[in-house]
Amino acid sequence: MNLLALETATEACSAALAVDGDIREIFEIIPRGHSLRILPMVDELMADAGLSIAQIDAIAFGRGPGAFTGLRIAVGVTQGIAFGASLPVVPVSTLAAIAQGCESDRALAAIDARMDEVYWGAYQRDSAGQMMLCGEEGVMRPGEVPLPEGDGWFGVGTGWGSYNTILTTRCGDKLAGWQGDSLPHAADVARLGIAGYNAGEATSAEQAIPVYLRDQVAWKKSQ
């Protein structure tokens, strides 16, 4: 399978290309340069692989939560490419992508949502190596995040960098450690996108929408 993946929900901007299980990625931290760099990243990956868009089977994109402008860039570029080539798209949670990059099998992903809040989600790795959502994603104050059962959880994401004292106090003995500079990678969006595609989660380009979380109480993966 050939899958293109895009992630622009945070200050990181990245694109990845999965070709028969081999994933190549271009990743840059450019808080204000996503709109200028994402398409050149795609062009570079495609040229290096010697592929055309017609040879791509699907596009996965980071659907959020994250920065409003960044999410719209990923959705817009995904829709533009997908409409032009009649490709299906696979939405992937940005929180799940951060969790997927964690070395631990249990991850508490938190993105700094500003306004003294975090985007939050608990994920546990399944037997296939994919991070699966435990409960719901949401946006809330760091001192009010819901805690999953069990211990051995590892905190990842910028929310931990901004609110580590509050979050570590909240999580207590459940927490095995944390890393506050973890950002989402398109390579992890690709891994989750392939799994989502194989699970029948691909959709049409017109149904590719960002998930902001602030305009909804929570998002729960459909069963």
Q: Residues of the chain whose pLDDT is less than 50?
A: 217-223
Q: What is the pLDDT of residue 220?
A: 47
Q: What is the pLDDT of residue 179?
A: 97
For the chain, what is the mean pLDDT? 95
CB 151 within 8 A of CB 174: yes
Nearest to 118 by CA among 136, 153, 144, 100: 144
pLDDT digits (tens, 9 = 90+) for 139-178: 999 999 999 999 999 999 999 999 999 999 999 999 999 9
Domains present along the chain, CATH in parentheses: 2-94+184-219 (3.30.420.40), 95-179 (3.30.420.40)
Q: What is the pLDDT of residue 95?
A: 98
Which DSSP category does 114 fall into? S
Q: What is the pLDDT of residue 215?
A: 64
Record the pTM.
Answer: 0.94
Q: What is the pLDDT of residue 214?
A: 75
CA dist 6 and 61 (Å) reads 5
Q: In the block, which residue shows the tokens 């450690």?
A: 177
pLDDT digits (tens, 9 = 90+) for 63-75: 999 999 999 999 9
CA dist 42 and 215 (Å) reads 31
Q: What is the pLDDT of residue 206?
A: 94
Nearest to 62 by CA among 186, 194, 160: 186
